[in-house]
Each structure stands twice: as structure tokens, then as C-alpha cells.
Amino acid sequence: MKKYLSGIYLTLIFGILYIPIITLIFFSFNSANSTAVFEGFSIKWYIELFNSPETFEALRNTLILAVLSSLIATVIGTAAAEGIYRMRNKLAKSAITSVTNIPMMNPDIVTGMSMMLFFVAVVAGISTVFELTYEDIGFFAMLIAHTTFCLPYVILSVLPRINELGNSLTEAAQDLGCTSMQAFFKVKLPNIMPGVISGMVMAFTMSLDDFVISYFVGSSNFQTLPLLIYSMTKKKVTPDMYALSAIIIVTVFLLLIISNFKTGKKIEGRRREARRK
Amino acid sequence: MMKKKQSIIHSIAAAPHIFWSVLFIILPLLIVVYYAFTDGEGNFSFENILSLGEYAEIFGLSLELSVIATFVCLIIGYPLAMIIAKSKPKHQKIFLMLLMLPMWTNLLIRTYSIMAIFDDGGILNSLLGTTFHFIGTKGAVIFGMVYDFLPYMVLPIYTCVSKIDKHMWEAASDLGCSPTKVLTKVIIPLSMSGVISGVTMVLVPSISTFYISQKLGGGTFELIGDTIERQFVTGALNVGAAISLVMMILILISLSVMNKFSDSSDGGIIV
Amino acid sequence: MEKLIELKGISKSYDGEKVIDSMNLYIRDGEFITFLGPSGCGKTTTLRIIGGFETADEGNLYFDGTEISNVPAYKRHINTVFQKYALFPHLNVYENIAFPLRLKKVGEEDIKRRVTEMLKMVALSGFENKSVSTLSGGQQQRVAIARALISHPKVLLLDEPLGALDLKLRKDMQNELKSIQQKIGITFIYVTHDQEEALSMSDTVVVIADGQIQQIGTPTDIYNEPKNAFVADFIGESNIIDGVMLEDKKVKFSAHVFDCVDGGFGKNEAVDVVIRPEDVDVVAPEAGMLTGKVTSVTFKGVHYEIIVDIKGFKWMIQSTDYVAPEATIGLYIEPDAIHIMKKSKYSGMFGDYSSFSDEIDTLSDADTAEEF
Amino acid sequence: MKKTFFLIFILLLLVSSVFSCTVSEESDDGEEISGNTVTLNVYNWGEYISDGFDGSMDTNAAFEEYFNENLAKKYGFYVKVNYTTYATNEEMYQKIKSGAGSYDIVVPSDYMIQQMIQNDLLLPFDATTLSNFSNVNEKFKDSPYYDPDNMYSVPYTYGMMGVIYNSALVDEEDASEKSWGLLWNEKYSKKILQFNNLRDAFGSAMYYLGLDINSTDLSVWHTALDKLSEQKELVQGYVNDEIFNKMTTASAAVAPYFAGDFLTMAYQNEDLSFYYPKEGTNYFVDAMCIPRSSRNPEVAKEYINFMLSEEPAVANALYVGYASPNDLVVQNEDYIAGISELHEDAMDILYGQTPDEVNASYPYNPCYQSLDTLSMNDSVNTLWESLKTENSTELWVHVSCGVIVVGVLSLAIYNTAIRKWRSKDYRRRDREIAKAKKAK
């Protein structure tokens, strides 16, 4: 009976989570230019999507920004987590962790606005020395802002893994002749990789969907997808954006099923072996 | 002496992060503090902070809605995390991915679809032939918050529960705990650190959302996020900065109180 | 001493593999019974079925005469001590031990008295406020025992509880467990793969292999009258040789006829002959019934362990006087030292002392396989 | 979970970059002569220019073509348009004012132009010198209040606010009065929508009461506020862009919005009809300007001049749907045919009555002036805030939140208390032992 119950609960919750997504995909095939009244079936919006370079450039910008910022955040975050783990005095440790959580705690508006003012001040300062406009550092400002608010997620997912791992492995590696650097990369990193990857994934998701901070910090020559969609609210969000979201969701969904289908086999195999021993 | 030198060398690893956070977290924060304590022309004044009294009610409402939303997230999220943690490893990965997937669509479009479904003339109403009024009420805002932040609640709890040793279940039932007692007496206390980090990850962002409340709340009431957004957009930086500064301090205090209760050092935040 | 627990035709399989093959067993009240067998032989699964953590595919389980296979674990008057102790990390020592009593809504004063008394019994007085993670392995084990016993269960299951302890501590814990069992007088069902523990602690030993009971009996029966080659080899050291029973009290093996005390086998019936290393006397080659070349001598303190190669079959002899390696010696065997067993599927698998454990055997097989 | 994400990243990145490269390749084909290319940063409202959707003309690409062919030689470089968008005047203003980004073209509304001129954010380029400026209708050229001598701006679109109502839900005689009163009619309680931005919401009340929308007397604003709070319990929601979905799905019956947008809504739902309220309504002009921070104002002037020529102007007017200040557009047959397709009397709605005729009975200037220039910004903001927070939060919110907080707190306190109580004896004993040891 219990198994049956949990099955229903699961489908209920995921159902509620996915009904809006299904509506979204449903409306992306709407022949009318409306996201509320369904007139007829047509792939007009997909065609429109594929011949508007502006949208795809926005998507490319978003992805480049998301991938780069999550990578940088992961590198700095993992190193920071290792550093924090090794730190001896409690005060420094708690200070750093609370500072790291500030971007997560602050409303996006505040982070965005303060970073914009900061960058403008920086540009003003530098341009007294040699000629520099906000345009030139536009992309980097966005990249820095995204990395900054992705960092907490990386650290919060890597630190517990490092705490769990303890020192035994790295000491064993050093005993076998690794320098401390090699020990970290050869032994510790592979073991905390799940944490690192999930941190990166979290960072990627955050950066992908951010609008507020990008709006304030972004410069004129780097428009990301969320900015494009949000600016449509002057008049009306047209279904071609629905089409784009539908494509992203469906591709990710299919990749998920395929890759899980493969790795699933492996895990099942390992479990049966373990039991037989 | 060796041990101490060793730990200093290793904590160098955190140096880039320290440098980064000082430059891009502390300095911008100082700017917020600067604006919070100056009026339009830049000379020092407490006037912004004092004028916060009138926003107390808005802040109260946002706090109330986010507390309710966090509670609903916990009630829905905890069993979900338990079920996922107890399912076969192959399925666990799929369930987690399915949970994270909606976060990849654009927040604005997701909110639009929710409105398209629940609006007075929306899909649900036209299917059922009823015209119950949901969009534009506080209930819709809570639904929006729960819809958007549920994954942040489930992931930390899932991490925590899946780390609990299998024997805990057996030991508890062996000593006479019925299944519900096993949960209340052993499993929930052990997963408390996951619950705390889950609650933090939902409560804090939901206090300062502004988009969900405007669209799903129908604009008939204002949350603190909307106020700050309007302040900043219409150029009244100082009051906006003052509000967010006070809010951040309040959040910091409530977080430290919550951590004191859970007395475990750090819950696994993400899977 | 009526039957407290009875297993009838219990069998269990994982992914189609039979882990327990229709087992019948009864356990008397107040008995210290041990399930002894190599790892993966189904002893732990049997214990978990009795404890209620797993349900058997077939057969039924009786407790005090009533069928309890669908009674959930928490309703059975059976408590368990786990190998890794399974103490609750979020509770201190006092609360861990008091946990079962709090479930039964026992009064605070009563709890305090019983917990202090239990702590005294396991020699952990004054540890109330300690957190379980700071305790040593032995201390954690004693807390687990105290926790399992405090609610006065009728049966206590122990799943290799001393596995993680060092030798000296394990010996003390064995005596302590034994004395606790005698003091309280309830049934202990003990699971281990360490035959010494089984022999020294239990009233009855159940030897299990491949999901089937090989033999049930007192430690002395098991040691002296092994039912088949597996039991003989698994309990203590024994040389197991193929022999032929000429007639009652006369057996022929290693091309030599011996007198023995056993009988009741068919004429010229092929049998397994078991000779304990300590029952063989080393004599001069000419005076010995058998002669062989010594391949290795190891000093074991109490005695020397001598491996002798007799016509290709390696015997182990334990004797107090030293023998030079490579020497040829004679062996003299008393009639009552020879024990005859029926052939079983385990015949021929054990008894040859070219190696001790199975793993090494498979290793050597692997080398030979490569040569071809 | 882990490996899959690597896979997903790389694939998504590849797919999108491949597409955008190939697609964008086609658009700047006029690249034969090598030579540096100047980027023209155009910053306009979202969905506010014809971008080649459904066969229409991509005016930005058309400008690049026009410039690269005829003017590249004269200027010595090619041009590439970089088109970014914003959702409200205020957001755009913050961006330009903070200097976080230099733009060459921006399209503010009339009141924002006035504010930007006052804050010296716009570059005077004397629109009259543009060759196509003559196409602009006279009434937009004789000293508009926001840019008296046409130094800073060239009108791009204009329009008036009106009341949209669903004829299936609203009785004919209520609508026939053609008054703002319909928005205050109890009969359609919870079916009325109101603007979610401060200026238009107050504007609707002020036009209705015949008050001066640019008054600097706070009491005028207070009377308007009382009118708005009177309307509050009838209002289903304060909306911006959600109005399209709410009106087309008949979730709401009455809403104030711009004439141009009414046409796109009506195209989807025939029941909708529209009227300009007799008490007068807001008349706005969005105009193209050049920010002072522009790095190539000359090219910007060419862009504005090009947008005034007939073909792009018609395409933009058709796409945006708002009225066009360009005479050539109003007389162009394709335009008239196209706009009437949306709604048969579209031309009458857009151009039937001139703003002056509509605002005949309105004594004051019907265009908004920036609250900043009237230095009324803070006070009106607080009024707007009080309107929003004035309603009482439903009881169930307070109760459920209280129950949750009390429940959680009491649970936590109860747990710690029990733990302290149960362990008090042996903790006291440990303390004594410790004290005794210390004493020794």
C-alpha cells in the first residue's frame, strides 16, 4: 500500500510542476499571436524563431555567459571550499562563509544596482588615467556579477563533500609521494567531483535565468535572453519566446532520459554484483 | 609549528575567493551603505532609515507570505525528498533532474503560463466552466513562490536524508518504533540540518521576490521587493538602499538564530 | 525449555539466487545459540528474518507458538545489536539507552533508575552526557547492548557485534556477553564467522553453509563429531582423507589399515576420515604407521605446526617437540583419534593443507590456469 | 545527473552558436569592401520596430543595407546596428543617466524627453535639418511642449489612451456614455483592470475629475488618490502587459489602454470595442532622440532620417500598431489596407479624431510632464504606495502565518526544554565532579 501511495504523491507533485511547462509548449504551437487564446496549430513561431538572428544571438550570449561564469565560479569556489576547510580559526571561517552568503541573501535588485554603481565608479576612476568607456568592460561586468552570485552555490555544495571526505585520502596520497598540490588534484578532486559538478550545475541554472542583475550591470552590446524576453513586456511577450523555451526544455529532457538510460544500466549492474559478494 | 604553517599554505587556496568577495561583494555593499545613509545630495542623514517606519507594513506582509510559502514548501518538499531518497538509485537521478528542469525555463514565461492556466477566463476555468478568482489573490502569490522555490527545499533535504545510515531505520523499528515514530523520533531529527538549509534557501529569496507578486498578485498589494524595485527605478536610491540594508541585517539575525537551534555545523546544501 | 522460536521450511532468495534453502530450526528459551558459517552463507539473512527486517519467501516463523512472519519488527519482543552499533547520533548515551523506554511511556524516575543500573551492568557509569561519536568502539558496543536489553526483550539478536573490536577487547566482550546472558537468562542468537567465538560462548552451535544447516549441536559435539567435511574443516583444523570402511572398527586410507572406534557403515563403503592435528603423535619413520617428508614447521608458542607431505597429501600435525624441516618422520594415530564421516557434497573440498583460506586456493588455481 | 549536465552544456552551446552564426551571416551580406565597421547602438522599447516577423520588412537590416550602399563611401566605414530593448521609460532613464552603456539612438516618451533634456542627457541635433523631416505632420512640429524648437527629437509614434470593454460582458448603455465612469461602475466589480504604473493610474482619475494631470498642488493629487482608492475594491488587478491575455480571454471586462494595442487585442477577440472617454485622455508621443553619450551622432541622424522615409515608416507603423505622425504613412494604401485588416475601423480609431478634438473638454495640457521636472516625484510615489498598502491584508494570512511561527517556535522551545529537563541530574553531577577535580 505504501509503495502505491508514494507513487501517487510523486506523480501529483511532478504533475503540478510540469503543467505550466506543458502549457508553455502547447502555446508555442499557437497560430495566433497570443499566449492565452489558442486558435490553431502551426509552427509559425518556430520558423519565426529560426530566422531572427537577434534571438539566437541573445541565446548564445546567455549560454556563453552562463557557462563561463559557472566555470569560473566553480574553480574559485572549489579552491575557496578547500581553503575554508583547512582554515583553523573559527572566526575567519564563519566570517568568510557569511560574506559568501550575502549575494544569495540580498534581493537581486540591490546586488545588481550596487554592482552597477561600483563598475561605473571603477570606469570613471580608470578613464581619468586612460580612455575607457563602460562599453569595453560591459561583458566583463556581467561575467563578474554572474560569477559573484554563483559562487555561494558552488561553495555550499562543495564544502560538505570536503568535510565528509576528511584528510585520510590526501595523507595517503602524500605518503605515496604526491606533493600537496598533486594530492589535491589526483585524489581529493575526483572524490569531491559530484559536489563540484552539482555546484556548477546550480551556478549554471542561476546564471541562465538571471534577469535583474544582468539588466543593471549589462552594457548595450551584450543582450541576454532574459533581458530580451523582459523587454517585451512593454507590449506583449510573443509566442516565439515560448518556442525557444520549449526547444531548450525538450532537448534537455531528451538528453536526460538518454544519458540516464545508459548510466542506469551501469548502476543496476554494480548493485547486483555487490549483493552477490 | 609545522602544522600551523601547513594550514596557512593550504588556506591560500581561499585567497582568490577572499580577494573576489572583498572586491565584488564588500565594496558594492559599502556603496549600498553609503546610499542608505545619505540623502539626495550626498550629505549624511539618518532620514532614510527613520522613514522606514512606513514600510513596516509592507515588510510585514512580505515576511508573512514568505513564511507561509516556506512552510508549504516544507510540507510538500519533505515527503518528496524522502520518497526520492528511498527510491532506486537509477530513479533518484531522474527525479532530481526532473525537479531542476523547470528552473531552466525563463521565470517570466513560467509565470505567464501559470496565469494562463489559473486566470478567471483561463484554461482551468474554461474547462471546468467555473469562474473562481485565483490570480490576483495572495494565494496565487504563495503558489508562485512555492512553484518557483520547491527545488531549493527538496535538494538539501534529499542530500541529508540519503546520507542517513540505513541501519537507523532498522534500529529504530527494532527498538519498538512504529513507522511514523521512526520518522518523528529518528529520521526527522537527523535530517534537521537539511531542513534548516532548505528553509533558508526558500525563505530568503521569497522575501525579496518582486516579479511573482506583481504578476500573480495582480498588483493590488505590494511586497518589499516591489517597493525596492520601484525606489531604484524611479531614482530614489537612498530609501531603496536603506530598506535593503535593514532587510539584510534582519535576515542575518534570523539565520544565526535558526542555526543556533540546529546546532549541527553545516547541512549538505545541494546534492 | 520449551521451543521459543521455530523456523519451518524457511527459504529466501535474492535475484533468483537461493540464500536460505528451506531451513528448519527451533531455538529454546534462555539458550545462547550461535549461527556459525562463512560470509554469504545466509546466517545474517536468517537473523534478519527472525528480527523482522526481512520476510522469508516461503515457510513460517513461530514465536511462543504463534506465527509472527507478518508481525512487523517493532511489535516483536526481539531486539538487535548491529555490527556497526547503529547508535542514534543526535542523542547522548543516556537518551540512546532510554530510547525504547520513552516509547513505552515509562515514568522518568523509573527510566533514570533502569538506565543507571544498565550503565553499571555494562561498566559505563558516568557516561550519561557523552555524545556517542566520542566513544571508543568497545564503549559504543556496550551502549548498543544496554539499549537493546533495557526493555527486557525475550530474545536478543547479535549480528557479529565484536567484528570491529581488537583481539584483547573482543575476548573481554565475549566473557561479558556470556555473563550478561546468564545473569538475565534470555535467549541470545549470535551470528559470527569466528569459530573460536562460537565454541567459547554458545550453548548450541548451528553451522550453516550455502543456506543450509550443516549441523546443530553443542560445541564439543561439533568439534569432535563433525557431520561432514565442511563442518570438520570449518571448526578447528582437521586433516580429511578419503578412506574405505573395510568393516566395523577397521578403515583403510593412505594405503594403510587402521583400527578405529566408529562403526555402522556398509562394507567397503567410501568414507571421509577426520584426524585432528593434535591427535597425531610424531615417531621415528620406521615405527610410524605412515611416513612422510616435513615441508614446513611454524612455531605457534603452545605447539609447533608441522606440515607433512604423505604421498602427495599435505597433513597438518601439532606437536610440542621440534622437527627439522625436510626430515622424514613417522606418524602414529590412536584408534579413538580417527573419526569416520559419511561422504557429502563437501568431500574432497577440504583437508589438504597446501593453503589455509579459500581465497589463496583460488589464487593458486588462477596461476595454473594461466600456464595453460 | 552529473555527466548529463556536461553533455547538455556542450550541446546547447554548439546548437545556438551554429544557428546564430549562420543566421546572422545572411543579414550583413554587404560586407565586400573591407574597412572598419561602426556599431550603432539602438535602444528602443520591446516589440517596437518591424523586425521582419511574418514577412514584414526588417527595418534595421534595411538601414544597414541603405547606409552601406549609399553612405559608406562618404563616411568611410560600414555600419552594424546593435538593437537592444527596455520595458519602461524609467528603466531606460536609469541606464542612460548612470552612464552604464553608451547608446546612439533612444526612443523616450514625451515627458521623459523633457526630463532628459533638463538633465542634459540628450544631444541637440536640430531635427529640421533632416531631409525627411518634412514628412512629419504639421501638428507635431509646431513647438511641442517637450521640445519646443525640435532640437532634440523626431516623433516616431503617438497615441491616445482609451477604454477597452468587452461588449459581451458590458451592457451597451453603460458604455454608450463613453466616460471614464465605466472604470468606476460597481456593476463590473472585480472585472475592471487599472494601470499598474503610477502616471497612467493617477491620469485616468484626474481626466475623469477634470483635474490638471501636471498640477504641483498636492491636494489635487489627494483627490485623485481618493478616487483611485474608491475604485480599489472593484479592481481585479493593476496590470501592464498582462492586459492582453486578460482581455482576450475575457477574464476581465473593462480596462484602460492605448488605442494601438486595442487593435491587436480586437484582432483576437471580436467582442472587444473601444472609445476615447469624453472627459479627455492622455496623449503621448514617443520620439527618436540621440543621447549625449552617443559616439557617432552623424550616423544616428542618418538612422533617424532613414526611419522617416516612407517604406520603413509604414513597416514600423504596421508592426507597432500605434498611430504614425508621418503624413506619408497615413496616406499610404498598403498601410491603410494592412491596419484595417486588424480592425475594420482602425483608421477611424487611430486618426479619426485628433488629440485636440478628443481633449476638447479637458482644460489642461493632456500630455504628461515628468514628475521629476515638477519635483513631485517623492510625494506622488508615497501616495501610490499608500494606495497599494491601504487595503487590509486578509485575516487568514495573519492567522496562518501566526500559527506557523508560534507552532515552530513552541516545538523548538519544547524540545530544548525537555532535553534540558531530562538531562539535568547527570549534568549537575558532572558539574560537581568537575568542580571537585578543579578544587583538588
| ipTM given for this complex | 0.82
Fold of A54-235: MetI-like fold (1.10.3720)
Residue by residue, DSSP assigns D266-290 as HHH-TTEEEE--TT---EEEEEEE-
Q: What is the spatial distance between Cα D260 and Cα D157, in angstroms, rounded to a whole number?
A: 10
Residues C276/C241, Cβ–Cβ less than 8 Å: no
Q: Which residues of D touch C91 (CB under 8 A)?
A: none
**What confidence tier does C325 reach under pLDDT thresholds 50, 70, 90?**
confident
pLDDT in tens, D358-376: 888 888 888 888 887 788 8
Q: What is the spatial distance between Cα C171 and Cα D263, in angstroms, rounded to a whole number?
A: 93
Answer CATH for C3-224 from 3.40.50.300, 3.40.50.1220, 2.40.50.140, 3.30.300.130: 3.40.50.300
Minimum mean pLDDT range among A236-240, D56-60, D329-333, D416-420:
A236-240
Q: Where are the domains of chain A?
A: 54-235
Closest Cα in chain A, distance from residue D19 (Å) = 7
Q: What is the spatial distance between Cα D226 and Cα D236, in angstroms, rounded to a whole number?
A: 18
Closest Cα in chain D, distance from residue B9 (Å) = 31
Q: Which residues of A touch D52 (CB under 8 A)?
A: 51-52
Is the model's pLDDT at D355 over the cut of 90?
no
pLDDT of residue C97: 92
In this complex, which chains have at least 3 CB pairs below 8 Å with chain B? A, C, D
pLDDT of residue D364: 85
Nearest CA in chain D to B56: D389
For D1, the closest of A39, A198, A220 (CB atoms) is A198
Given an 8 Å threshold on Cβ–Cβ distance, is B233 in contact with D378? Answer: no
> Which range among A172-181, B64-73, C260-269, D43-52 has the greatest average pLDDT?
B64-73
List, as ranges, residues 218-247 from D with C-beta within 8 Å of A.
240-241, 244-246
Residues B117/A23, Cβ–Cβ less than 8 Å: yes
Nearest CA in chain B to A102: B25
Average pLDDT over residues D270-293: 90
Is the model's pLDDT at D30 over the cut of 70?
no
Element (H, E) at C187: strand C187-192
**What confidence tier does C278 reach under pLDDT thresholds 50, 70, 90?**
confident
**What confidence tier does D4 reach under pLDDT thresholds 50, 70, 90?**
low
Given an 8 Å threshold on Cβ–Cβ distance, is A234 in contact with D41? Answer: no
Quote the distance between the C-alpha of residue C313 and its chain's center.
Answer: 27
> B75 vs D341, which has greater pLDDT?
B75
Average pLDDT over residues B135-139: 86
* Amino acid symbol at B177: C
Q: What is the spatial distance between Cα D91 and Cα D95, in angstroms, rounded to a whole number?
A: 6
Average pLDDT over residues A108-131: 81
Closest Cα in chain A, distance from residue D245 (Å) = 5
Task: Please tell me the pTM assigned to this model.
Answer: 0.84
Per DSSP, D332 falls in state -
Grid coordinates belonging to C223: 568439534
- β-pairing verdict for C328-333 and C338-341: unpaired
For D249, the closest of A36, A134, A256 (CB atoms) is A36
Q: What is the spatial distance between Cα B69 and Cα B75, in angstroms, rounded to a whole number?
A: 10
**What confidence tier does D15 reach under pLDDT thresholds 50, 70, 90?**
low
Q: Which residues of D touch B236 (CB under 8 A)?
A: 377-378, 381
**CATH code of residue B216:** 1.10.3720.10
Is the model's pLDDT at C370 over the cut of 60?
no
Is the model's pLDDT at B197 over the cut of 60?
yes
In this complex, which chains have at least 3 CB pairs below 8 Å with chain A? B, C, D
For B21, the closest of A100, A163, A199 (CB atoms) is A100
Is the model's pLDDT at A264 over the cut of 60?
no
Q: Which residues of B touch C82 (CB under 8 A)?
A: 167, 170-171
CATH 3.40.190.10 describes domain D25-158+285-348 = yes
Q: Where are the domains of chain C?
A: 3-224, 229-371
Residue B9 lies in a domain: no
Per DSSP, D133 falls in state G
Average pLDDT of the residues of chain D = 84
Sign of the four-CA dihedral C212, C217, C222, C225: negative
pLDDT of residue A68: 93
pLDDT in tens, A186-195: 888 888 888 8
Most B CBs within 10 Å, among C48, C71, C74, C101, to test the B interface: C74
Per DSSP, D392 falls in state P
Minimum mean pLDDT range among A70-79, A149-158, C195-204, C263-272:
C263-272
pLDDT of residue B268: 35
Residue C4 three-state SS: strand
Q: What is the spatial distance between Cα B79 and Cα A13, in angstroms, rounded to a whole number?
A: 11
Count how many domains chain B has: 1
Domain region containing B133 = 56-262
List, as ranges, residues 104-123 from C with C-beta within 8 Å of D.
108, 112
Could you count the other beta carbons within 10 Å of the beta carbon of residue C370?
A: 6
Average pLDDT over residues A75-102: 84
So what CATH class is C229-371? mainly beta
Residue D202: CA atoms inside 13 Å, Cβ hemisphere, count? 28
Q: How many CB pairs under 8 A join B and D?
A: 105
Residues C33/C189, Cβ–Cβ less than 8 Å: yes
- Residue D230 CA: distances (Å) to CA of A198, D185, D205, D386: 52, 11, 10, 13
Q: In which residue ranges of chain D is CATH 3.40.190.10 found?
A: 25-158+285-348, 159-281+354-389
Cα-Cα-Cα-Cα dihedral of B129, B130, B131, B135, to 10°? Answer: -100
pLDDT of residue C357: 63
pLDDT in tens, A231-256: 877 777 888 888 888 988 898 888 87
Q: What is the spatial distance between Cα A226 and Cα A102, in angstroms, rounded to a whole number?
A: 23
**What confidence tier does D11 reach under pLDDT thresholds 50, 70, 90?**
low
pLDDT in tens, C79-98: 989 888 889 988 899 999 99
pLDDT of residue D22: 45
- Residue C260 CA: distances (Å) to CA of B94, C240, C247, C284, C289: 69, 15, 10, 22, 14
**What confidence tier does D102 reach under pLDDT thresholds 50, 70, 90?**
confident
- Residue B188 CA: distances (Å) to CA of B82, B192, B193, D151, D372: 10, 6, 10, 71, 56
- Residue A215 CA: distances (Å) to CA of A208, C211, D161: 13, 69, 29
Cα-Cα-Cα-Cα dihedral of D95, D101, D107, D113, to 10°? Answer: 60
Please, what is the Cα angle at C84 between C82 and C87, to 5 degrees? 80
pLDDT of residue C360: 61
Minimum mean pLDDT range among A213-227, B151-165, C327-341:
A213-227
Q: Which residues of B touch D196 (CB under 8 A)?
A: 214, 219
Is the model's pLDDT at A118 over the cut of 50?
yes
Q: Which residues of C touch B185 (CB under 8 A)?
A: 99, 103
Q: What is the spatial distance between Cα D155 and Cα D142, in angstroms, rounded to a whole number?
A: 12
CATH superfamily of D159-281+354-389: Periplasmic binding protein-like II (3.40.190.10)
> D309 vs C264, which has greater pLDDT?
D309
Q: Cβ neighbours of residue B256 under 8 Å, at least 6 residues apart? A: none
- β-pairing verdict for C313-319 and C304-310: antiparallel
Is the model's pLDDT at D35 over the cut of 70?
no
Given an 8 Å threshold on Cβ–Cβ distance, is D94 in contact with B115? Answer: no
